[in-house]
Amino acid sequence: MKLFNDYRLIILLCLTLGLAPFFPEPHLWGKLKWIIGGANGMQLQDLFDVLMHGFPWILLIRLIILKLTSKDAT
């Protein structure tokens, strides 16, 4: 469970797996635009791809929320 609470590791995952491949645009960004545009032609493997590339970002958002809502936050 310590791995899911390590800021350095999660930020590294966001910048590598979360954005790769980087050109011509980050992969996750292109998939999210596709979903917002109606997801025409999207298959199950594309949704799994969004989940895999988005998981580090979900972990980062989780850590930020936990940090902001903890009682002993300094």
Spatial CA neighbour of 10 closest among 58, 74, 69: 58
Q: Are 49 and 31 in contact (CB under 8 A)?
A: yes
Residue 60's contacts (CB-CB under 8 Å, 6 or more residues apart) are 10, 11, 14
The SS3 call for residue 43 is coil
60-70 confidence digits (pLDDT tens): 999 999 989 98
Taking residue 30's Cβ as centre, other Cβ atoms within 10 Å add up to 13
35-71 confidence digits (pLDDT tens): 999 888 889 998 999 999 999 999 999 999 998 998 7
